[in-house]
A and B are shown apart, each in its own frame.
Chain A
């Protein structure tokens, strides 16, 4: 599923790498908890996995595809087809309905739309199935996303990440805006739905209590040999 070998990334104009990972592997359908405080190269790593960035050196393979060999447009298409992405918050387009937000992923990828067809006969069928799965009342499905609570919005974001059963779901601190009760519910739901869809899950959080739910646990500062300016500052101190 994921195969990283000696991958580095350096921002244009910077003198040092901000990410340098010797090796990172994840099997298909497995779940990985990445513990990463801010400044540990988290955004860069997720950017590499999602194909927004290409590694400066080394190799990042997702689904056996070396992302470095693709053009930026091909990487965008690859992300549309194979990756579901959940942000910390503000995942939804406020002016679209809940259903349309979930369907958005299928609009940019014929492959995802086809997989949704296979799952529940149509993208809309799959979207509704997922919305039911995350426990969102069907009366909310036609509401505008902006009318939902933060907890509901995060669940809808999970449904969108999972529509068309992408092989990889990336979640970037998706629970940090939720309180404890909502957080646990969201975690259970996300893991269960990923398992059901057969999607691998890369989950980044600085909340180590969540780590127990995952197959694999890694600390990003530990595997990032580059060391970020803040990390370096801590070492020096």
Chain B
């Protein structure tokens, strides 16, 4: 066996140019399959780590997935706001421990602005019941003095290079070219949060009153012509919000969750809905799962193509190697050893290709992980391969062995027919 391994290695090395190409293509398909598996797992982790300790998300009636994506991940848009009265009614419910209203819509350099109450920072949890914590500065307290205070997520501060005390202006809506700035009411960076690996990192937090203040002189999504209320004057107006986008709800006991959900759904004054974050995530994975399967099938197809390449290259080379096989038979190798030799060769190529692909995945996770996290908020775990990844790796190598069986079988037949006199 050792002799065969060494001969297979050196024979293969002799044809390294073509075999390296095959190994490269196997490597790329391994990269696709493994990279996809890792990305899929990490995206799911990132999403499910993003909210915990919240029992219900309440908003205007829409899809459960949509409500969760919008309120927690700030992706997509809300169909409708909910009235503050409804939020207060919810607070009165006996089973409800706390309600944190959320108001969304504005942005700062592409980062979403979230208006909420100071309670958000104590109630919101992520990962395994972790609270958000300040890296520096302080939180806004909801007082009029601190009306224009803002608390930045770690990524916002990092990406834009903001320090405490710096003044920033918010953009109306999603911002971008042609967008309108709330330039008349600049905010002061009061605090910067520690990194959480959740959408909080990419969010600019202000108070609900501040959200009202910057829109005092606005109507229907545009500044009122001829009306301008200076920043300091705004404090004299009633800044209590009339509407918010959604609310996070914590219960006294989790067992009441369906009761409260029904209460929300049957709330007579407004069309509301409440979703359980876990249930909404499951629904999301159901939707995404179809696309994932399609992508996985496509990646698998690429792997099949690269293994077809392996078969073709080894088969094509076999005719020129009939003398080599005859020499091996002359020194005592049996057809079975010839079969084994070709099997070892194909397996070596497959293993090298898979190793290359896995190394590429690791290199990209290490090298581009931070960039991907800052750009897309997905934390690529530079961790040891999961059991699913090991299984996938073994499956690809297994496919390589099976593919190698085809040229190996052909070599077996050839060496049986040829014996010591190859017909070349």
**Is B332 a contact partner of A79 (Cβ separation < 8 A)?**
yes
Say how far A82's CB is from chain B's closest CB, in angstroms.
9
Assuming the A-B contacts A77-B332, A87-B420, are A108 and B3 also in contact, with contact meaning beta carbons closer than 8 angstroms in the complex? Answer: yes
**Is B331 a contact partner of A85 (Cβ separation < 8 A)?**
yes
Q: How far is the CA of A160 from the CA of B332 in the complex (A)?
A: 12
Assuming the A-B contacts A47-B419, A50-B420, are A85 and B330 also in contact, with contact meaning beta carbons closer than 8 angstroms in the complex? Answer: yes
- In the complex, which residues of chain B have a beta carbon less than 8 angstroms from the beta carbon of A85? 330-331, 420
- In the complex, which residues of chain B have a beta carbon less than 8 angstroms from the beta carbon of A104? 327, 331
| Cβ proximity bits B299-335 to A, threshold 8 Å, 1 near / 0 not | 0000000000000000000000001101111111111
- In the complex, which residues of chain A have a beta carbon less than 8 angstroms from the beta carbon of B259? none
A76 within 8 A of B: yes
A105 within 8 A of B: yes
| Cβ proximity bits A144-170 to B, threshold 8 Å, 1 near / 0 not | 000000000000000010000000000
A181 within 8 A of B: no
- In the complex, which residues of chain A have a beta carbon less than 8 angstroms from the beta carbon of B11? 93, 95
**Is B420 a contact partner of A90 (Cβ separation < 8 A)?**
no
**Is B421 a contact partner of A47 (Cβ separation < 8 A)?**
yes
- Tell me how many residues of A have a C-beta within 8 Å of chain B: 29
Cβ < 8 Å to A, chain B residues 100-129: none
**Is B324 a contact partner of A93 (Cβ separation < 8 A)?**
yes
Looking at B13, B14, B324, B334, the one whose CB has the most chain A CB atoms below 10 A away is B334
| Cβ proximity bits A36-78 to B, threshold 8 Å, 1 near / 0 not | 0000000100110010110000000000000000001100110
A109 within 8 A of B: yes
- In the complex, which residues of chain B have a beta carbon less than 8 angstroms from the beta carbon of A77? 332, 334
A34 within 8 A of B: no
Assuming the A-B contacts A47-B420, A47-B421, are A109 and B332 also in contact, with contact meaning beta carbons closer than 8 angstroms in the complex? Answer: yes
A92 within 8 A of B: yes
- In the complex, which residues of chain A have a beta carbon less than 8 angstroms from the beta carbon of B335? 72
Looking at A43, A95, A109, the one whose CB has the most chain B CB atoms below 10 A away is A95
Contact of B330 among A81, A87, A94 (CB under 8 A): A87
Q: How far is the CA of A76 from the CA of B331 in the complex (A)?
A: 9
Cβ < 8 Å to A, chain B residues 49-89: none
- In the complex, which residues of chain B have a beta carbon less than 8 angstroms from the beta carbon of A80? 331-333
- Tell me how many residues of B have a C-beta within 8 Å of chain A: 23
Contact of A53 among B326, B337, B419 (CB under 8 A): B419
B10 within 8 A of A: yes
**Is B334 a contact partner of A73 (Cβ separation < 8 A)?**
yes
A91 within 8 A of B: yes
A178 within 8 A of B: no
Closest chain A residue to B329, Cβ basis? A52
Say how far B187's CB is from chain A's closest CB, in angstroms.
71
B7 within 8 A of A: yes
**Is A76 a contact partner of B332 (Cβ separation < 8 A)?**
yes
Contact of A93 among B7, B336, B419 (CB under 8 A): B7
**Is A95 a contact partner of B13 (Cβ separation < 8 A)?**
yes
Number of residue pairs across A and B with beta carbons under 8 Å?
Answer: 69
Closest chain B residue to A97, Cβ basis? B10
Assuming the A-B contacts A72-B334, A108-B331, A108-B332, are A95 and B14 also in contact, with contact meaning beta carbons closer than 8 angstroms in the complex? Answer: yes
Say how far A51's CB is from chain B's closest CB, in angstroms.
9
Closest chain A residue to B14, Cβ basis? A95
Q: How far is the CA of A91 from the CA of B420 in the complex (A)?
A: 11
A96 within 8 A of B: yes
Assuming the A-B contacts A47-B419, A108-B3, are A81 and B327 also in contact, with contact meaning beta carbons closer than 8 angstroms in the complex? Answer: no
Closest chain B residue to A75, Cβ basis? B334
**Is A105 a contact partner of B331 (Cβ separation < 8 A)?**
yes
- In the complex, which residues of chain A have a beta carbon less than 8 angstroms from the beta carbon of B331? 80, 85, 104-105, 107-108, 160
Q: How far is the CA of A53 from the CA of B335 in the complex (A)?
A: 13
Cβ < 8 Å to A, chain B residues 1-20: 3, 7, 10-11, 13-14
Looking at A43, A107, A108, the one whose CB has the most chain B CB atoms below 10 A away is A108
- In the complex, which residues of chain B have a beta carbon less than 8 angstroms from the beta carbon of A105? 331-332
Assuming the A-B contacts A46-B420, A90-B327, A93-B327, are A81 and B332 also in contact, with contact meaning beta carbons closer than 8 angstroms in the complex? Answer: yes
- In the complex, which residues of chain B have a beta carbon less than 8 angstroms from the beta carbon of A172? 420
Contact of A76 among B7, B13, B327, B334 (CB under 8 A): B334
- In the complex, which residues of chain A have a beta carbon less than 8 angstroms from the beta carbon of B323? 90
**Is B327 a contact partner of A91 (Cβ separation < 8 A)?**
yes
The 9 closest A-B pairs by CB, nearest first: A80-B332, A95-B14, A76-B334, A108-B332, A107-B3, A85-B330, A52-B419, A90-B323, A43-B421
* Interface residue ranges, B against A (CB under 8 Å): 3, 7, 10-11, 13-14, 323-324, 326-337, 419-421
| Interchain residue pairs with CB less than 8 A apart (26) | A43-B419, A43-B420, A47-B419, A47-B420, A47-B421, A52-B419, A52-B420, A53-B419, A72-B334, A76-B329, A76-B332, A76-B337, A77-B334, A80-B332, A85-B420, A87-B327, A90-B327, A91-B327, A93-B7, A93-B327, A95-B11, A96-B10, A104-B327, A105-B332, A107-B331, A108-B331
* Interface residue ranges, A against B (CB under 8 Å): 43, 46-47, 50, 52-53, 72-73, 76-77, 79-81, 85, 87, 90-96, 104-105, 107-109, 160, 172
Beyond A87-B420, A90-B323, 9 extra complex contacts between A and B, CB < 8 Å: A43-B420, A52-B329, A73-B336, A76-B329, A77-B332, A90-B327, A92-B327, A93-B327, A108-B3
